[in-house]
């Protein structure tokens, strides 16, 4: 005997939309515009369509899966993944498994329907974002996800009025410590390499910490010693060439990331300058490669193990309907050979 009960596919055919759009429209999802939603609901009423509550309940169960979305980084080679995130990825994977969840890893596609792509499509219970590209564009996406009630947490800047929940490093204090160390070594003409615009708020906060350390040491900062650079070795290399072309004396470099600092060190070496004797170099992130450069790179370490655990813990709180807050994690100064002591360090010792 033929079952003549209408289905969501019948409604989709009549409405000229996908079956998933029908499902969202019948749930009054804000992901579907009002005109389409009313059209679908009218057709469902006309066909006397009844939602299969058992099937809906089955679909609404938790997937026990977390989606981890990485931002593609064109400056990091074929992997397209910033090496800083690799150690954090291990921590997130471990924390997810310890809580009985699976991890779905993908690159951010910047579609207009992130929530539908993962949560609403029952592929994941929530999303962790690592990296963001252009921050101003990213915030617009986060605002939308907040409006539709998506569960997500981001690793990145923690700013007033920022949508959603974020966990990040205390970039200001980390850069302050790094710059303070260079000053104690007797360096006074210190350059900062990194994009400090509103598009890169983490680098901008590091720049603020850098300038504050100079100000507290009564050292005037020459704005010509700041050169924009994205986070890649090539960008750090090019920024250092630009710095040298300005013919302004400098005896230290603060790279906004380790990759920038490593690129800077290469440019200095090619120019016949010795690191750290002529120019001391400081990075930020403590990626694994930092220990193996020549000389080993001094840097600011972000606790990626703790960060990964907190990202998973915070997201699962949101999934369970519990309150969660944004937080800043402390940074730690790691001193290696690229900031080795020089003879004038004794003048600044206490």
Q: Mind spelling out the 3-state secondary structure of 103-119?
A: EEEEECCCCCCHHHHHH
pLDDT beyond 80 at 268: yes
Give DSSP secondary structure letters for 16-36. TS-HHHHHHHHTT-TTS-HHH
Tell me if 100 is assigned to some domain: yes
- CATH number, domain with residue 93: 3.40.50.2300
pLDDT tens-digit series, residues 84-96? 888 899 999 999 9
pLDDT computed for residue 241 by the predictor = 97
Section 180-192 average pLDDT = 96
Same domain? 46 vs 93? no
pLDDT computed for residue 347 by the predictor = 28
Distances (CA, A) of 1 to 4, 5, 9, 124: 9, 12, 20, 38
Give DSSP secondary structure letters for 117-145. IIIITTS-SEEEEE--SSHHHHHHHHHHH
190 contacts 254 by C-beta, under 8 angstroms? yes
Tell me if 1 is assigned to some domain: no
Number of domains in the chain: 3
Same domain? 193 vs 293? yes
Tell me if 15 is assigned to some domain: yes
State phi, psi for 70 to the nearest 5 degrees.
-95, 145
Same domain? 186 vs 272? yes
Which of the residue ranges 18-27, 195-204, 256-265, 327-336 would you say has the lowest mean pLDDT?
A: 18-27
- pLDDT band for 350, please (50, 70, 90 cuts): very low
**Tokens 């910033």, residue?**
82
pLDDT beyond 90 at 141: no
Same domain? 183 vs 205? yes
Same domain? 286 vs 342? yes
Question: Residue 255: how many CB atoms within 10 A of its CB?
Answer: 32
Domain termination residue (choose one: 60, 77, 100): 60
Same domain? 134 vs 249? no
Section 37-47 average pLDDT = 91
- CATH number, domain with residue 54: 1.10.260.40
- pLDDT band for 340, please (50, 70, 90 cuts): confident
Q: Which of 108, 192, 200 is nearest to 159 (CA)?
A: 200
Average pLDDT, the chain: 85
Same domain? 160 vs 117? yes
pLDDT beyond 80 at 3: no
**Tokens 């969501």, residue?**
8
pLDDT beyond 90 at 77: no
| pTM for the predicted model, two decimal places | 0.78
pLDDT computed for residue 216 by the predictor = 98
């Amino acid at each position: 005997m033929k079952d003549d009960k209408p289905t969501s596919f019948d409604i989709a055919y009549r409405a000229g939309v996908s079956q998933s759009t029908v499902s969202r429209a019948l749930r009054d999802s804000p992901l579907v515009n009002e005109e389409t939603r009313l059209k679908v609901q009218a057709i469902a009423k006309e066909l006397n369509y009844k939602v299969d509550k058992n099937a809906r309940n089955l679909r609404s169960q938790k997937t026990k899966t977390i989606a981890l979305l990485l931002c593609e980084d064109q400056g990091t080679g074929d992997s397209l993944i910033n090496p800083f995130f690799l150690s954090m990825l291990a921590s997130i994977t471990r924390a997810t498994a310890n809580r009985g969840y699976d991890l779905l890893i993908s690159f951010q596609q910047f579609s207009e329907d992130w929530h539908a792509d993962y949560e609403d499509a029952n592929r994941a219970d929530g999303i962790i974002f690592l990296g963001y590209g252009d921050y101003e564009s990213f915030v617009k996406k986060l605002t939308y996800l907040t409006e539709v009630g998506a569960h997500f947490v981001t690793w990145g800047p923690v700013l007033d009025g920022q949508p959603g929940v974020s966990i990040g490093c205390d970039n200001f204090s980390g850069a302050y410590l790094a710059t303070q160390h260079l000053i104690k070594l007797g360096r006074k003409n210190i350059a900062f390499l990194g994009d400090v615009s509103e598009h890169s708020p983490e680098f901008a906060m590091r720049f603020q910490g850098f300038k504050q350390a100079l100000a507290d040491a009564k050292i005037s900062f020459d704005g010509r010693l700041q050169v924009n650079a994205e986070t890649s070795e090539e960008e750090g290399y090019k920024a250092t060439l630009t710095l040298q072309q300005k013919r302004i004396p400098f005896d230290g470099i603060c790279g906004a990331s380790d990759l920038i600092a490593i690129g800077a060190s290469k440019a200095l070496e090619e120019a016949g300058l010795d690191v750290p004797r002529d120019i001391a170099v400081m990075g930020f992130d403590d990626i694994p490669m930092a220990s193996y450069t020549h000389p080993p790179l001094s840097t600011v370490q972000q606790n990626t193990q703790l960060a990964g655990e907190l990202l998973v813990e915070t997201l699962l709180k949101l999934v369970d309907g519990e309150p969660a807050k944004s937080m800043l994690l402390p940074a730690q100064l790691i001193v290696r050979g690229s900031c080795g002591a020089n003879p004038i360090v004794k003048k600044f010792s206490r």
